A and B are shown apart, each in its own frame.
Chain A
């Protein structure tokens, strides 16, 4: 599904450039559940943003399902992302002004679906995540675990092939975190590829593979 070849990421700095990712060559197959680990500042989030096609400013090659991402125009890149990728964030990032239902509907509203189709999909997802009763509440009325549940639900609502999660349990208690991991595992078993960044060895055990980064270099797992 994903092929990275000699990928490098750097920022300009007063004297020259500071490298954040060095010579990353990596392949991830369809259906994998990958955990990216490494010390703080290693470049994990940076890598995830590149994989998630938010950041197109890198050198080297990034091939996603036979498309060369680094050659795509920004607009096409966003199209590719829209069709394939869902995100889960450490701090949930739900929109405070929208209800649970509206938060879930949001990605669909950006994908040219009819209202009735959107209703059907959101209804299914609410049901699947067991949060039908919460659909009219605002994020501030939910617990952290419930908020992240909605965050995950929102990530899959557009049926992505790949879910990217940056420390999805970082702001949760351990049993809330476990619940999210179980959910990821179930989604993975249903066929969704998952890449998560985590500091927790326990969380990493839910996946089938660990990629370790250190100072921007791939330490192991390729």
Chain B
């Protein structure tokens, strides 16, 4: 074909001659393709990329459910599963439980701790990069082996990457542990699913000694199960296997396992289940961005074609075949699209880099969302498709160049010639495309807002929380623990700036919960569902007031409610309503599911408070149980009567500002110089942590939606301003004939109004039908919330109108004389 290279170079020259047009088109296109590349890559990483463990498709996660709840298993459960399972070839139990203090250095540091059985490493296919991991003996019942394995991060951060650490002794909560190994940097620990990446791994046998947890009993559900399926075994078979084991447990230990069940889930679902849906939502959002980008560029090229109508007619008159005209426009659009595609891919790679770092810290370190070749190929495919789409529409219009009309004078004044309808349709599409992600982002933002503004039922401001592990011979006796806590509280209350102080366990430290199974006294309780599981919290007298939890009936604890007095408890309103509907619970008794334990007398009722995290994507994916939703079944007990070894304190400070850590440390050092404070943090920071993932998701979606709206506005601006430019003569003429500003504004804005509104309506319909699908990610707002949709549509229309007003103002500034001479 002759002239092809000339046409390409002419195409490039044409782009350079219109830098505004080229820049807008390139920006639009590269943003669309870039966002798509990064997000497709991320979504692939989240949904499809294999986990970094050998035989990852055979790894499973095991958790428990019971009437009214679901969560961790006990250590004996883990042992039972290991002994009885016919479908799992290996099992492990592990728990990530807060921090321990790395003592013996100043200042003392906090290490995030994971207690694991030795099989944990074996199942994940991980070996120590230096030294070794634990042996079975070191984790055996009653073992006193004091060994620790460091994560690679802790080793480099806290020990300077010194190889001599292996074999040395470190002090954790004052106890000596020998470092026997260091994990490789590539080891992705499962603790990160729930919280921070662990710094140190310890045998589960050490949990009792170090954290004061009761040794491996059924009453303590802190563990997760990890297993590897035997080759060829399906998940369903494993589930049936575990169902059988759970039934056996229920028969053997009815007091702790009434209505108990075990659930098995693929490890991959456990890690990414919560993110699959958000990933698809984001992917849909980015697809809309790309569509808007394509519509935009198509529009721009069409507009440019309208400008070139005379040229096209002339070329046809000079002998250009319709194929040649098609080629001319197609090539120019291809040049544009190819540049946009290349830029977009570069932008996508950069965005992907930034995003994977961001996901690592803000969402989960177990998700690998970095760019991969397949995503890159998808991006290139996207750009190619975009190129074809962009080039084909205007090129198609170019073919039909009408010589007679195109060459007659005044042809250029007529906007509707040459693809005017297509352009209006594209404008409508852009608005529709932008509205869907905008509405979705609106829903996410409202959901996030509801989430963060749902009252917790207690005052979180300036509330400092920390833990003390009262372990060792000195604190064997419950009375010693109570005395220390009382003495400590008294000293703390005297520290300047402290308004109030109380024991508050377990409070909001992580997901760990203490539970008690109870039934109202005097009712038959031989059926499994007669018992209700309540979350139990230890507080000091006056503690509920200190926390701001309102009491609605009965009395508070007093110093008289001590170890010698009968057991008393204060229940939440939800418990009162469930157990004694329409009756006064004060004075009634609760019997315990375990035989031989004394009953608890209810002395008061409080408003519901949300102690557990309000929202977790994992909850959504696992079972749809959202901790902060629905009735809160809590019971408060006086610490003096129920003194755990791991005790949490809450200190209300008078002023904002740094935590008076040193004063607190002095207070405790005066009582026991070896006792470290663990996990010192303001409650608001902990809450911010819990909100991190939903916040990140809402932010990401909002960003995508704003980008979509911006692109749509750019597109509309382009269309209208080009239309104004093309009608300069007409507008000048009208002005010369006496048209007032209002007339001209109406002329310019009026022709865009119908497509805008049509597009908005179509977008609303699409958003409404997609909203249902979002519902599982929403907190306290329906997927079809009309006010959110209306707001999104209105704001988009306002933005679109603004995009039209600017060129309209330019039209108003047209000087009739200049405009008329322009032809």
Q: Is the Cβ of B404 less than 8 Å from the Cβ of A55? A: yes
- If A52-B317, A78-B321, A93-B407 are given as contacts, then 8 extra A-B residue pairs at C-beta distance below 8 Å, sorted by A number, are A45-B408, A54-B404, A55-B404, A81-B319, A93-B310, A110-B321, A110-B324, A154-B318
Question: Residues of A contacting B318 with CB < 8 Å?
Answer: 87, 106-107, 110, 154
A51-105: which residues lie under 8 A (CB-CB) from chain B?
52, 54-55, 75, 78, 81-82, 87, 89, 91, 93, 95, 97-98
Interface size on A, residues (CB 8 A): 27
Q: Is A205 an interface residue, CB under 8 A from the partner?
A: no
> Quick check: is B10 within 8 A (CB to CB) of the other chain?
yes
Residues facing A in B295-328 (CB within 8 A) are: 310-311, 314-315, 317-321, 324
B587 proximity list for chain A (CB < 8 A): none
The answer, yes or no, to whether B17 is at the interface (CB within 8 Å) is yes
Separation of A153 and B310 alpha carbons in the complex (Å): 19
Q: How far is the CB of B14 from chain A (nearest CB, A)?
A: 6
Which of B13, B315, B317, B409 has the most chain A CB within a 10 Å cutoff?
B317
Instruction: Give chain B interface residues in 721-744, CB to chain A under 8 Å.
Output: none
With an 8 A cutoff between CB atoms, is B415 at the interface? Answer: no
CA distance A98 to B408 in the complex (A): 21
Bound CA–CA A113/B310 (angstroms):
25
Q: Given known contacts A55-B404, A97-B13, is B409 in contact with A91 (CB within 8 Å)?
A: yes
Interface pair A54/B317, CB less than 8 Å apart: yes
Contact B319 A107 (CB under 8 A): yes
Residue of A nearest to B324 (CB): A110
- B2 CB-CB contact with A under 8 Å: yes
Whether A95 lies near B314 (C-beta < 8 A) is yes
A sample of 26 cross-chain residue pairs with beta-carbon separation below 8 angstroms, ordered by A number, consists of: A49-B404, A52-B317, A54-B403, A54-B404, A55-B404, A75-B321, A78-B321, A82-B319, A87-B318, A89-B407, A91-B409, A95-B314, A95-B315, A97-B10, A97-B13, A97-B14, A106-B315, A107-B318, A109-B6, A110-B315, A110-B319, A110-B324, A114-B2, A115-B2, A154-B318, A158-B319
How many residues of B are in contact with the other chain, CB < 8 A?
Answer: 22
Whose C-beta in chain B lies nearest to the C-beta of A52?
B317
Q: How far is the CB of B385 from chain A (nearest CB, A)?
A: 30
Distance between A217 CB and nearest chain B CB, rounded to angstroms? 21
Instruction: For residue B769, give the distance in angstroms from its CB to the closest CB of chain A.
Output: 43
Separation of A95 and B307 alpha carbons in the complex (Å): 12
Residue numbers in B under 8 Å from A158 (CB-CB)? 319
Indicate whether A109 sits within 8 Å of B314 (C-beta atoms), given known contacts A49-B403, A55-B404, A97-B14.
Answer: no
Q: How far is the CA of A106 from the CA of B3 in the complex (A)?
A: 9
- Of residues 177 through 213 on chain A, the ones whose CB sits less than 8 Å from some CB of chain B are none
Contacts of A54 in B (CB 8 A): 317, 403-404
The reply to whether B407 and A110 form a contact with Cβ atoms under 8 Å apart is no
Return the chain B residue nearest A82 by Cβ: B319
User: Measured between alpha carbons, how far is A154 from B315 in the docked complex, in Å?
Assistant: 12
Chain B: minimal CB distance from A122 (Å): 13
Known: A55-B404, A78-B321, A82-B319. A93 touches B6 (CB 8 A): no
CA distance A98 to B314 in the complex (A): 13
Question: Which A residues lie within 8 Å of B17 (CB)?
Answer: 97
Task: Provide the bound-state CA to CA distance between A95 and B6, in Å.
Answer: 15
Q: Is the CB of B317 within 8 A of A87?
A: yes
Q: How far is the CB of A162 from chain B (nearest CB, A)?
A: 14
**Given contacts A97-B13, A97-B14, is CB(A111)–CB(B319) below 8 Å?**
yes
List residues of chain B with CB within 8 A of the CB of A98. Answer: 10
Binary A-proximity of B390-432 (CB < 8 A = 1, otherwise 0)? 0000000000000110011100000000000000000000000
Of the listed residues B319, B320, B409, the one surrounded by the most CB atoms of chain A closer than 10 A to its CB is B319
Residues of A within 8 A of B319 (CB): 78, 81-82, 107, 110-111, 158
Contact B310 A109 (CB under 8 A): no
Residues of B within 8 A of A111 (CB): 319
User: Closest approach, in angstroms, between the C-beta of A153 and any C-beta of chain B?
Assistant: 12
Residues on A with C-beta less than 8 A from B6 are 109
Closest to A86 in B: B318
Q: Which residues in A have their C-beta under 8 angstroms from that of B14?
A: 97
**Are B409 and A113 within 8 A (Cβ)?**
no
Q: How far is the CB of B96 from chain A (nearest CB, A)?
A: 67
**A132–B66 CA distance with the chains assembled, in angstroms:** 95
- B457-483 at interface with A (beta carbon < 8 Å): none
Q: Which B residues touch A115, using CB under 8 A?
A: 2
A-side contacts of B317, CB under 8 Å: 52, 54, 87
